Structure 1
Amino acid sequence: MKLFKLFEGKTFKIEPGLTRIKKACEKLGNPQNKFPSILVAGTNGKGSTCAFLENIFRIHGFKTGLFTSPHIVEENERWQINRKHIENRKLEEYIKQIKPLIQKYELTYFEASTLLAFKYFADEEVDIAILEIGLGGRWDATNVATPEISVITNVSYDHMHMLGNTLEKIAFEKTGITRVDKPAVIGRNQKEILYWLKERKIKEYYVKDNDFFIEKICLDMFNYKFRNYSLNNLKISLIGDYQIENASTAITSFLIYSEKNNINVNKDLIKQALIKTFWPARLQKLNNNPITYLDGAHNKEAIEKSLATIKKLYPDKEITVLFSGMKDKEIKENLEIIFNYTKDITFTQIPVSRSIDENYIKEIFGNNFIFIKDIKEALLEVKEKSKKEEKIFLIIGSLYLSGEVLKHFPP
């Protein structure tokens, strides 16, 4: 039994607020307060930052809890201890425990997922839990935790129908995870974030390019400096300038936590952690013939960065794209970014109700497009085309698309 099965066919009027999740947590004895935690918010890079941060803690001997969303292939991915997914048997036990609370307080799927994470991590007595914000921050269910550090990777345009249509409004929501008396780490120096930190009277915060610094050597290597810490020739397993940003944010968060908790920092272990960190569907290389990358980018900034990275890696190669996405995203704007790099796009449909379909694409392009509904068929056809034409094959547009691809063609 999976948690999402309890929610199939149900519709929820999602109302902002933490009342429901707080009441449910109280009934379980507030498990979220029984372990130290770090909250990670931001438009892009949350998952990768969580992955880097968890690995750094774990390689230093910590028993780690990791809660992220959405899952890519299996629901169990959402709840991890020491990077091992929760077992089916345990998952079923926890679902039985929290089912009455889900029904009593009419919890949403994400609230229920969060409640399960809190209980699981408390029962397993983790040393630290890394909690990824689901949406926004201020009213996110994870925000009932009491974080030792709040991390904000960056703000950009996504989920505007819920978070607001300006960076100022989005930053207001995301800085809602900060605490006046606890440190915050900011992965990108953006005036909108800094404004709200000051307005919220956050006493201690550390900002990239103000407090910690990076020197990029290449797409997967950099030097790092924060106070008296210098780390040189750091190599990361995840590709891209933005992953260097995420890695440096994770390092800073760990160093601050270590200082406040008298933990011995081992620079060699940090280096090992960065090179060993894996996070699926973030420019994940699937194949060498043709060269194939899978990326879950689904907003303008993320798509731009992914395509720019591909061109840096293969400046003399053309790109062919397999694309799908959700109707509530800025599909037209996302495609405009892709068209700056290639006109060779094939569309497919994700088997969920929110996915774009042939009619949706027809409204944008008329009849001038290629659409293959079945993802497996689309993958095989575009793969053969890329191979024949010696192009880079990029699958992009949605984490849900990434999940479907990995189901058919696991790495």
Structure 2
Amino acid sequence: MSLPKPTAAATLQEWLAYLESLHRKPIELGLERVRAVAERLELRLPCVKITVGGTNGKGSTCAMLEAILQAAGYRVGMYTSPHLIDFNERIRVDGENADDAAIIAQFDRIENGRGEISLSYFEYTTLAALLLFEQREVDIAVLEVGLGGRLDAVNLIDADCSIVTSVDLDHTEWLGDTREKIGYEKAHIFRSGRPAICADPMPPQSLVDYARDIGADLWRFGKDFNYSGDRQQWAYGGRSRRRAGLAYPALRGANQLLNASAALAALEALEDRLVVPQQAVRLGLSQAVLPGRLQILPGRPTVVLDVAHNPHAASALAQNLGGMAYYPYTHAVVGMLKDKDIAGVLSKFLTRVDHWYFATIDGPRGATGEQLAEIMRGLLPPQGDDPVTVSSFANPVLAFAAARERATEGDRILVFGSFSTVGPVLQELGR
């Protein structure tokens, strides 16, 4: 049963609670409803539009595009999801989160125009972002695809360039249980006759075939664009453009050059419409910020935050942990959704973590700390003289407090598994 429509004095939180109550399903894929409402509202977005999909790396790629394009002097709108702490993080203009009043105005506009059509929370918020970008007359809209591609609300936009960062197993109950099925879903953000960037080094054949069948201009990593580097700098090479002498991105992680090269391939593919000087690339890469992605906080013990929640992302995180300095003990604070491949994620850290602190995530999709702990106990090998410890807690903040209590100054605390795990810890720390 839906809540009453918010009044003129309603807060953003009251509006968001109303949106959550409107639709019978939290996730319902399909473009019919959102497209019908967009037409009623006469949504037009005449700017350059870049959509970014993929299993992992979407947020980083969007952040780098935003920073580079802003450094080049463009007015950029960016839409991403989910958020870590505040909903406003999802909708950005000129590098700043949209304020409550601006978002509420778009919600009210949608509510007055949708009539009898029911929208999901994500469809509603996607329309709000697009309408705000139209109102603010942005030069470029960078749009992160929420789930899959073919039936995701963002796909109602005919992008001028689309990027698929990676294809791996996640959201299998909606997208399919193989890379081929998932690749087919993600490939549907590509458009006929327009640049389609694929940064996955080994893309599913279904993605390649779909791009060919619709006549998209497919740019493949390793074939149409690539990168090289040494300890000091790196270089991008595309079809006709090379950018050398680049400093490494401010965003940490082994895969960030892959994400950065995808962003630069998109800019090369759009260079007849966008002028992006070399200095803007350098400045943007150095200034791109994305909380919760291999984020290392200052101080001791070392605290590492990462929203990794599927085996592909977990493997990259484990690799990055292995490249860090020596720490006597690593403490891991973990909370996950129960529809994720929990065992597949946790197994990547069996040789990396000494003490586990599992946290319950609230909501119907959240796993309890004890459920996670039980899965970990089943994964652990027989214990020797210095056994791995496993404990569970009512929420991520309590789990993090216990980890900080036990950790010494020389240790490392890792917080990962979900936006709903990292967000509360960041908020607790006042970051």
TM range (shorter): over 0.9
Paired residues of 1:221 and 1:244 also in contact (CA < 8 A): no
Q: What amino acid is aligned across from residue 314 of structure 2 in structure 1?
A: I
**SS at the partner of 1:326?**
coil
**SS at the partner of 1:200?**
helix
2:383 aligned partner: none
Distance 2:357 2:288 in 1: 31
Structure 1 or 2: more helix by fraction: 1
**SS at the partner of 2:112?**
helix
Indicate how the Cα distance of structure 1 residues 5 and 214 shifts in structure 2: closer, same or farther if over 3 A, else same: same
Q: What amino acid is aligned across from residue 264 of structure 2 in structure 1?
A: I
Please list the CA deviations of residues 16-44 of structure 1 after superposition, one character each: whole Å capped at 9, or x if unmatched. Answer: 3211011100011123x332211100000
Q: What amino acid is aligned across from residue 345 of structure 1 in structure 2?
A: W
Distance 2:376 2:241 in 1: 55
Where does structure 2 lack aligned partners over 5 or more consecutive residues? 1-10, 379-388
Superposed, which structure 2 residues align to 1:45-84 within 5 Å? 45-84=57-96
Q: What amino acid is aligned across from residue 181 of structure 2 in structure 1?
A: K
2:222 aligned partner: 209
Q: Please, which of 251, 254, 258 is the counterpart of residue 245 of structure 1?
A: 258
1:402 aligned partner: 422
Q: What amino acid is aligned across from residue 311 of structure 2 in structure 1?
A: K
1:276 aligned partner: 287
Distance 2:200 2:115 in 1: 40
Q: Please, which of 150, 156, 160 is the counterpart of residue 168 of structure 2?
A: 156
Distance 2:59 2:336 in 1: 19
Q: Percent of aligned pairs with the same residue? A: 29
Superposed, which structure 2 residues align to 1:52-201 within 5 Å? 52-101=64-113, 104-192=116-204, 194-201=207-214
Which stretch has the larger CA shift, 190-199 or 71-80? 190-199
Paired residues of 1:231 and 1:267 also in contact (CA < 8 A): no
1:254 aligned partner: 267
Paired residues of 1:163 and 1:169 also in contact (CA < 8 A): yes
Where does structure 1 lack aligned partners over 5 or more consecutive residues? none
Please list the CA deviations of residues 262-311 of structure 1 after superposition, one character each: whole Å capped at 9, or x if unmatched. Answer: x4331122111101000110011123200111100100011111121121
Distance 2:20 2:33 in 1: 20
Paired residues of 1:102 and 1:112 also in contact (CA < 8 A): no
Q: Please, which of 369, 378, 382 is the counterpart of residue 390 of structure 2?
A: 369
**SS at the partner of 1:232?**
strand
Q: What amino acid is aligned across from residue 328 of structure 1 in structure 2?
A: D
Work out the number of aligned pairs and report it.
406
Alpha-carbon distance, 1:317 to partner: 4.9
Superposed, which structure 2 residues align to 1:307-386 within 5 Å? 307-315=318-326, 317-361=328-372, 363-364=374-375, 369-386=390-407
Superposed, which structure 2 residues align to 1:33-44 within 5 Å? 33-44=45-56
Distance 1:18 1:184 in 2: 21
Alpha-carbon distance, 1:144 to partner: 1.0
Aligned Cα root-mean-square deviation (Å): 2.1
Alpha-carbon distance, 1:92 to partner: 1.8
Please give the TM-score of this superposition, normalised by the length of structure 2. 0.89
**SS at the partner of 2:133?**
helix
Q: Please, which of 391, 397, 402 is the counterpart of residue 411 of structure 2?
A: 391
1:29 aligned partner: 42
Alpha-carbon distance, 1:197 to partner: 3.8
Alpha-carbon distance, 1:257 to partner: 1.2
Q: What amino acid is aligned across from residue 400 of structure 1 in structure 2?
A: S
Distance 2:171 2:148 in 1: 8
Paired residues of 1:322 and 1:347 also in contact (CA < 8 A): yes
